[in-house]
A = this chain, B = another copy of it.
Amino acid sequence: MTVRAAIQTKIVEYKQGDTTLEGFVAWDDALKGARPGVLVVHQWMGLTDYEKKRAEMLAQLGYVAFCADIYGKGVHPQNTAEAGAQAGKYKNDRQLLRARVNAGLAALRQQPRVDSKRIAAIGYCFGGTTVLELARSGADVAGVVSFHGGLDAPNPDDGKNIKCKVLVLHGADDPFSSPQDIAALENEMRKGGVDWQLVKFGGAVHSFTQPNAGNDNSKGAAYNERADQRSWEYMKVFFTGIFK
């Protein structure tokens, strides 16, 4: 257990079926009473220090933040080929992906100090796709936020299952989601009567919140400080709205 000011963190093992998963929880020990909970879903490289840092930032905002582990304990892709194989496995089996992310949600709800009536989920890249899938699973959460998620609509009718509010934060020059795929997602949500918002950040490509991604937009993935900061602010506005 790490103590940093009042922010505390802890590794949490939990299960989906027979698979052991290794999550991470962060909270502000100085705050009393039940707090809203935020599930954080990782990028294609699996649960790394990046997502743990985001969880600590969320804890500093007063939330109990829980990083889900989709891939399983000990599964840590070492390169993009391994990451692509892992992410692909779940993108191609949305039911398994839903089961894994819902297991993370259940683990979040079990954390002490969590107000289980006030829950949201955010995700980055692969995790963005995953929280949209969480919404489509009909999960009882207040809202989900995708940061540069892979956007698509594998089953255009799935929007009808979505009970929560949706905020999609997207790089306007992200080459990994085609305009057609984005339009399909919009139509899925429109058809489903979802309360949704989509923000396009000009000049931003994939991974715009990820400092490790460098700054060369021509690679299709790069850090973009202003889109990073703005998207975080929009998430805060979104949480203020859903956690009233």
Interface set of A (CB-CB < 8 Å, partner B): 166, 172-173, 179, 183, 186, 189-190, 193-203, 226, 229-230, 233-234, 237, 241
Contacts and interface: CB of A to CB of B under 8 A. Distances in A.
Contact of A202 (B196, B230, B241): B196
Contacts of A202: 166, 186, 189-190, 194-198
Nearest to A231: B197
A161 to B, nearest CB: 16
A195 B200 CA distance: 11
Contacts of A199: 197-200
A195 B225 CA distance: 12
A197 B237 contact: no
A1 to B, nearest CB: 35
A226 B172 contact: no
Nearest to A204: B197
A186 B183 CA distance: 15
Contacts of A203: 190, 193, 195-196
A200 B173 contact: no
Given A166-B202, A190-B203, A200-B200, 10 more contacts: A172-B186, A172-B198, A190-B202, A194-B202, A195-B203, A197-B199, A197-B201, A197-B230, A198-B199, A233-B237
15 contacts: A172-B186, A172-B198, A173-B190, A190-B202, A195-B202, A195-B203, A195-B226, A197-B199, A197-B201, A197-B230, A198-B202, A199-B199, A229-B241, A230-B237, A234-B234
A179 B173 CA distance: 17
Nearest to A237: B233
A6 to B, nearest CB: 26
Contacts of A172: 186, 190, 196, 198
Contacts of A230: 197, 237, 241
